[in-house]
């Protein structure tokens, strides 16, 4: 009797709390709650479902045809509990629909919870915020809306705004019945962000060796509000704050206070929109390096390792400096690089503190050198457009060579310099095999668009100027006649093809085309470049009109480049021969003569060095270039008397020598802040003072008006050859 009483009480409590019901007995079926009766289940029917499978629900209930159970009894309550736990129903009932002797037939009546048709925001939520919240996929259309779902949505949206600094934000979630689709509903998310909470003051207690200012500066993302900090955010972000507390401890560690810790911290309200932060630190003692010894080193003596480490007895104990000198110096000047650049892939070093006396620490460097590893296979993956051979020829790690971390880093730099791949997604996966002492290396790349289309127009001085340019930076000339290669142009061989045209109609036209093969012959990085160009500038009248003023320039150039191995393999040398033919018709006021033609046959020698680490956003390295462009000294052997020669004779073959130097240095200051220092110098020289400076190939001061002024003054003071030379030298 007591057991049955407990069952009835439990069922009543469950009914009140969960909304489920047990209705034992249908029409004309009497049930004696004081005397439970045992029945065999003759059949189970599930009703009220709209989206759910009835057989699955029957199985979930735990009731099976043929089972025996007491009515009322525990099995009925467990069946309802099993269904209710699914979170899919707003009401669950179990009734006896029919009784035949000791056999009962049961009906499970359920009412499904509504499903989501859509959700929307209210309360000033911006479109970008709404999109970011939707990306979290808190709930999808068609899913059942439960109380747990609503709570999760509410908490997630509030956490989203707390992470943005809106600590006082409130979120309300409402269910709105869908008037179109039965048993569907919308979720309305009402957000009141309130004002963003900022930090009024950060107070640090317990610090004696490091000032408040330095500790606050160590906190990169948690800053106190000050009127003069225009570019610094003072919003409070809890996740960033936790990271910044670790940075305070790290600041102490860098100064040798390796026992430093934060004893406590508190965040409290200053006013409605600001908070204060109090942090109490325990600095501990400052420690210093004392004796550093090496064990297990057979390849390099301790003296060499000491020089690489660069830590002396008495230096402040700085764990970050120690790690940098052992494992991860960006310049490759660390102990690990020393070994790994010589094939010791399996190298390992463990610094062990073997003695701590007062404020001094003795460290033993325990080295496992292992054996040198040789490269077995080198593979490349991710290149869909670029041919394997184009990538493989830039790879410095070759099968059979000793493993070298420096070669891997250099390979990644060379792949980035190609411009075909996303430099941020270049990857390398060494796969060592300690059994045979080899390593397979896989380079992973992700291609990016490298071709360029330039279509531009501009209006000025009552003229419309249009430009059309096409640059194919991964062209393939050998596939031009290959079927199926035009997509839209044959590509994948790393060649460069450029076509460009610019015009403003009848006044100005310019056309040029160039082609570059970076690996002439395919075996060595010797480049071949060919370019042609044609330009016309006139006053717009027809060619047959005597009043026409024009200058026509036609040109051709051929160049050969080569990578050098000395002084280092960042150097390249380039040789070029070029020819320009100038035709002037009544074109006065700009050059030293108005009618005639000139030939410009020049040779160019250029040596350059490029060691920048990345083409898009360099953080280190430099670009240096020294170029000499010169013509044959015609005046020394052509027999022309230049003191009495006409302009047509004087400038039929122009002569000059031009020197140019440029340098660009990238120096990392802090983080991603980089200083770029540039120097440029140019000099235009003469072979014969009687000939004078070349009318073409001059340097511009920056404004054409200044250049023209220099031209006229030079003609007026033609006897002053020194002035003439300086005038056109930048």
The string of pLDDT tens digits covering residues 298-328 is: 999 999 999 999 999 999 999 888 998 998 7
| 610 contacts 574 by C-beta, under 8 angstroms | no
| pLDDT at residue 15, as a whole number | 41
User: Which residues neighbour 218 within 8 Å (Cβ) at sequence distance 6 or greater?
Assistant: 244, 247, 248, 250, 251
Could you give the CA distance from residue 233 to residue 219 in angstroms, rounded to a whole number? Answer: 12
Q: Is the pLDDT of residue 593 over 50?
A: yes
Place of tokens 């060494």: 430
Where would I find the H helices in 603-703?
Answer: 647-650
pLDDT digit string (tens) for 73-93? 888 888 888 888 887 887 888
Q: Is the pLDDT of residue 598 over 80?
A: yes
Least confident range of 191-195, 493-497, 597-601, 709-713 = 709-713
- Read off φ and ψ for residue 218, nearest 5 degrees: -65, -25
Q: Is the pLDDT of residue 727 over 50?
A: no
Could you give the CA distance from residue 564 to residue 611 in angstroms, rounded to a whole number? Answer: 13
Closest CA to 403 of 369, 437, 436: 437
| pLDDT at residue 461, as a whole number | 66
Q: Is 497 exposed, middle or buried (0-12, 13-18, 19+ CB in 10 A)?
A: buried
Could you give the CA distance from residue 194 to residue 413 in angstroms, rounded to a whole number? Answer: 48
Whether residue 72 is preceded by a cis peptide bond, meaning omega within 30 degrees of 0, is yes
Closest CA to 394 of 363, 359, 419, 357: 419
In the numeric block, which tokens belong to residue 264?
A: 């406590």
The angle formed by the CA atoms of residues 47, 48 and 49, to the nearest 5 degrees, is 95
| 150 contacts 180 by C-beta, under 8 angstroms | no
* Higher-confidence position of 167 and 14: 167
| pLDDT at residue 7, as a whole number | 39
Place of tokens 């059309």: 468
- What average pLDDT does the chain have? 85
Could you tell me if residue 486 is left (phi over 0), alpha (psi between -120 and 50 degrees) or otherwise beta? beta
Could you give the CA distance from residue 115 to residue 181 in angstroms, rounded to a whole number? Answer: 10
Q: pTM of the entire structure?
A: 0.65
pLDDT digit string (tens) for 633-691? 999 888 888 888 888 888 899 999 999 999 999 998 877 889 999 999 999 999 998 88
| pLDDT at residue 350, as a whole number | 94
Write out the E strands in 445-570: 452-460, 463-475, 495-503, 508-517, 526-538, 550-563
| 525 contacts 562 by C-beta, under 8 angstroms | yes
Closest CA to 714 of 725, 698, 704, 702: 725
Residue range 12-24: mean pLDDT, rounded? 45
Place of tokens 């402040």: 316
- Of the pLDDT bands very low, low, confident and very high (cuts 50, 70, 90), residue 2 is very low
Residue 334 is given by DSSP the state S
- Of the pLDDT bands very low, low, confident and very high (cuts 50, 70, 90), residue 719 is very low
pLDDT digit string (tens) for 180-214? 777 788 888 888 888 888 899 999 999 999 999 99
Could you give the CA distance from residue 444 to residue 539 in angstroms, rounded to a whole number? Answer: 56
* Higher-confidence position of 628 and 273: 628
> How far is Cα of residue 697 from the mean position of the Cα atoms in its chain?
41
Q: Is the pLDDT of residue 591 over 80?
A: no
pLDDT digit string (tens) for 506-527? 888 999 999 999 999 888 999 9
| pLDDT at residue 284, as a whole number | 92
Least confident range of 419-428, 435-444, 464-473, 717-726 = 717-726
| pLDDT at residue 592, as a whole number | 72
- Of the pLDDT bands very low, low, confident and very high (cuts 50, 70, 90), residue 27 is low
Instruction: Enumerate the β-bridge partners of residue 562.
Output: 526, 573
Least confident range of 361-375, 387-401, 452-466, 547-561 = 452-466
Closest CA to 619 of 384, 424, 365, 398: 424
- Of the pLDDT bands very low, low, confident and very high (cuts 50, 70, 90), residue 30 is low
| pLDDT at residue 721, as a whole number | 33
Q: Is 671 exposed, middle or buried (0-12, 13-18, 19+ CB in 10 A)?
A: exposed
Least confident range of 88-92, 477-481, 557-561 = 88-92
Could you give the CA distance from residue 499 to residue 510 in angstroms, rounded to a whole number? Answer: 11
| pLDDT at residue 205, as a whole number | 94
Q: Is the pLDDT of residue 703 over 60?
A: no
- Percent of the chain surpassing pLDDT 90: 43
Go through the domains of the chain in sequence order and give each one's CATH number: 2-112 (3.10.20.310), 115-192 (3.10.20.310), 198-282 (3.10.20.310), 288-368 (3.10.20.310), 374-444 (3.10.20.310), 549-727 (2.40.160.50)
Q: Calculate Rg over the CA atoms of the chain.
A: 41
| pLDDT at residue 665, as a whole number | 95
Closest CA to 600 of 500, 698, 713: 698
Least confident range of 126-140, 445-459, 468-482 = 126-140
Half-sphere exposure of 571 (CA within 13 A, CB side): 9
Closest CA to 614 of 354, 370, 412: 412
Could you give the CA distance from residue 529 to residue 45 in angstroms, rounded to a whole number? Answer: 83
Could you give the CA distance from residue 542 to residue 549 in angstroms, rounded to a whole number? Answer: 10
Could you give the CA distance from residue 117 to residue 196 in angstroms, rounded to a whole number? Answer: 32
- Of the pLDDT bands very low, low, confident and very high (cuts 50, 70, 90), residue 532 is very high
- Of the pLDDT bands very low, low, confident and very high (cuts 50, 70, 90), residue 1 is very low
Widest Cα–Cα separation across the chain? 139
* Higher-confidence position of 420 and 481: 420
| pLDDT at residue 287, as a whole number | 95
| pLDDT at residue 701, as a whole number | 62
* DSSP 3-state of 150: helix
CA dihedral 208→213→218→221, nearest 10 degrees, is 140
């Amino acid at each position: 009797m007591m057991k049955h009483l407990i069952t009835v009480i439990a069922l009543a409590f469950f009914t009140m709390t969960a909304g489920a019901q047990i209705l034992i007995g249908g029409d004309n079926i009497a049930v004696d709650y004081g005397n439970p009766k045992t029945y065999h289940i003759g059949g189970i029917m599930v009703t009220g479902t709209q989206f759910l499978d009835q057989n699955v629900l029957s199985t979930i209930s735990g009731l099976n045809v043929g089972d025996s159970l007491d009515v009322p009894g525990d099995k009925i309550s467990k069946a309802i509990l099993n269904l209710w736990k699914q979170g899919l129903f707003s009401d669950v009932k179990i009734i006896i629909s029919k009784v035949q002797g000791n056999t009962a037939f049961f009906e499970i009546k359920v009412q499904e919870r509504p499903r989501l048709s859509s959700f929307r925001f209210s309360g000033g939520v911006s479109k970008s915020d709404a999109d970011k919240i939707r990306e979290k996929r808190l709930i999808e259309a068609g899913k059942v809306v439960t109380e747990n779902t609503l709570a999760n949505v509410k908490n997630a949206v509030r956490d989203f705004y707390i992470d943005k600094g809106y600590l006082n934000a409130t979120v309300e979630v409402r269910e709105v019945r869908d008037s179109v689709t039965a048993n569907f509903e919308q979720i309305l998310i009402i957000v009141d962000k309130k004002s963003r909470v900022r930090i009024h003051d950060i107070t640090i207690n317990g610090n004696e060796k490091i000032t408040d200012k330095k500790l606050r500066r160590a906190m990169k993302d948690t800053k106190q509000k000050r009127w003069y900090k225009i570019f610094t955010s003072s919003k409070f972000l809890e996740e960033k704050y936790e990271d910044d507390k670790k940075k305070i401890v790290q600041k102490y560690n860098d100064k040798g206070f390796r026992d430093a810790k934060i004893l406590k911290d508190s965040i409290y309200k200053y006013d409605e929109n600001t908070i204060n932060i109090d942090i109490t630190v325990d600095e501990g003692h400052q420690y210093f390096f004392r004796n550093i010894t090496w064990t297990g080193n057979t390849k390099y003596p301790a003296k060499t390792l000491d020089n690489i480490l660069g830590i002396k007895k008495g230096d402040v104990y700085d764990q970050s400096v120690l790690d940098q000198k052992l494992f991860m110096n960006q310049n490759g000047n660390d102990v690990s690089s020393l070994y790994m650049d010589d094939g010791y892939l399996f190298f390992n070093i463990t610094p062990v503190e073997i003695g701590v006396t007062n404020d001094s620490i003795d460290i033993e460097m325990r080295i496992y050198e292992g054996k040198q590893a040789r490269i077995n296979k080198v593979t490349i993956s991710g290149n869909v457009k670029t041919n394997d051979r184009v990538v493989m020829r830039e790879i410095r790690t070759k099968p059979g060579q000793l493993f070298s971390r420096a070669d891997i880093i250099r390979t990644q730099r060379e792949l980035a310099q190609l411009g075909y791949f996303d430099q941020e997604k270049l990857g390398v996966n060494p796969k060592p095999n300690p059994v045979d002492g080899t390593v397979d290396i896989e380079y992973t790349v992700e291609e990016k668009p490298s071709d360029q289309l330039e279509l531009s127009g501009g209006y000025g001085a009552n003229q419309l100027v249009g430009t059309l340019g096409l640059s194919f930076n991964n062209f393939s000339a050998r596939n031009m006649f290959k079927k199926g290669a035009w997509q839209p142009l044959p590509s994948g061989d790393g060649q460069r093809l450029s076509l460009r045209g610019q015009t403003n109609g009848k006044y100005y036209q310019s056309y040029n085309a160039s082609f570059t093969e970076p690996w002439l012959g395919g075996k060595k990085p010797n480049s071949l470049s060919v370019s042609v160009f044609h330009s016309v500038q006139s006053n717009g009248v027809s060619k047959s009109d005597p009043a026409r003023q024009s200058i026509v320039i036609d040109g051709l150039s051929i160049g050969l480049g080569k990578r050098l191995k000395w002084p280092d393999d960042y150097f390249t040398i380039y040789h070029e021969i070029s020819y320009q033919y100038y035709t002037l018709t009544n074109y006065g006021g700009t050059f030293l003569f108005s009618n005639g033609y000139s030939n410009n046959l020049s040779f160019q020698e250029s040596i350059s060095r490029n060691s920048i680490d990345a083409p898009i956003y360099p953080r280190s390295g430099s670009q240096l270039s020294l170029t000499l462009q010169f013509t044959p000294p015609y005046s020394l052997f052509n027999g022309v008397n230049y003191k009495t020669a006409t302009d047509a004779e004087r400038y039929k073959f122009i002569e000059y020598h031009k020197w140019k130097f440029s340098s660009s240095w990238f120096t990392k200051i802090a983080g991603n802040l980089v200083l770029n220092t540039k120097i440029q110098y140019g000099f235009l020289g003469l072979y014969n003072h009687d000939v004078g400076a070349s009318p073409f190939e001059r340097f511009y001061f920056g404004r054409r008006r200044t250049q023209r002024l220099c031209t006229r003054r030079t003609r007026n003071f033609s006897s002053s050859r020194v002035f003439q030379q300086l005038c056109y030298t930048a």
